[in-house]
């Protein structure tokens, strides 16, 4: 079972039944789902939450529910997953996030993602973490950059789970290795 992770403002925790309604709301928000293949209806959202919850309850990582400790009990998820497709960078562990629109622009995704990266490298001893998105998703790419990830145009790929000619099929890949993160992390904390 994955442990709870804590930051200055956030708790990354196991999922609760009361998370399902706000999760369905963000999955049905076109602003949140702009760079996903489609919005999810309530049944699809609940099924997604069940899969996420099941994985997190039985493994040492997953997609944690994010709670703002000063009051918002559920604002989305941040965490680690293993992509279910084959590409030049798989097998791998991906970091990702999905937060409710009302909580954008407050640094929550970056704060939570930094904590997850630390857990991945210090506790899980993963050699590398990746993240990917459509090129137009600049907000997510900015989070990737803030947590120390870098991209290389040669790593861009066509997402194999999206049909040809789909407007979101082209993806950019970001990476950070444990060694690179450790060097940066030490420089950030020593200086």
Residue-range domains of the chain with CATH: 5-190 (3.40.630.30)
pTM of the model: 0.93
Per-residue confidence (pLDDT) for residue 183, from 0 to 100? 73
Give tens-digit pLDDT for 32-54: 999 999 999 999 999 999 999 99
Longest dimension (CA), the chain: 49
Distance between CA atoms of residues 185 and 191, nearest Å: 10
Give tens-digit pLDDT for 76-108: 999 999 999 999 999 999 999 999 999 999 999
Per-residue confidence (pLDDT) for residue 30, from 0 to 100? 98
Residue that is written with structure tokens 């459509």 in the block: 134
The answer, yes or no, to whether residue 176 has pLDDT greater than 50, is: yes
| DSSP assignments along 111-136, one per residue | HHHHHHHHIIIIIS--SEEEEEE-TT
């Amino acid at each position: 079972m994955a442990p709870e992770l804590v930051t200055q403002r956030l708790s990354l925790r196991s999922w609760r039944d009361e998370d399902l309604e706000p999760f369905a709301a963000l999955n049905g928000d076109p602003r949140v789902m702009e760079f996903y293949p489609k919005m999810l209806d309530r049944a699809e959202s609940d099924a997604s939450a069940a899969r996420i919850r099941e994985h997190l309850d039985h493994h040492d990582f997953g997609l944690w529910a994010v709670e703002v400790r000063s009051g918002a009990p559920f604002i989305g998820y941040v965490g680690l997953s293993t992509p279910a497709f084959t590409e030049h960078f798989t097998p791998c562990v991906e970091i990702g996030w999905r937060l409710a629109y009302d909580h954008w622009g407050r640094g929550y995704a970056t704060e939570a993602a930094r904590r997850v990266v630390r857990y991945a490298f210090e506790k899980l001893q993963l050699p590398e973490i990746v993240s990917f998105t459509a090129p137009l998703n600049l907000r997510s790419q900015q989070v990737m950059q803030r947590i120390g990830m870098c991209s290389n145009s040669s790593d861009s790929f066509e997402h194999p789970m999206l049909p040809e000619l789909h407007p979101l099929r082209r993806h950019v890949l970001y990476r950070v290795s444990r060694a690179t993160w450790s060097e940066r992390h030490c420089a950030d904390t020593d200086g």
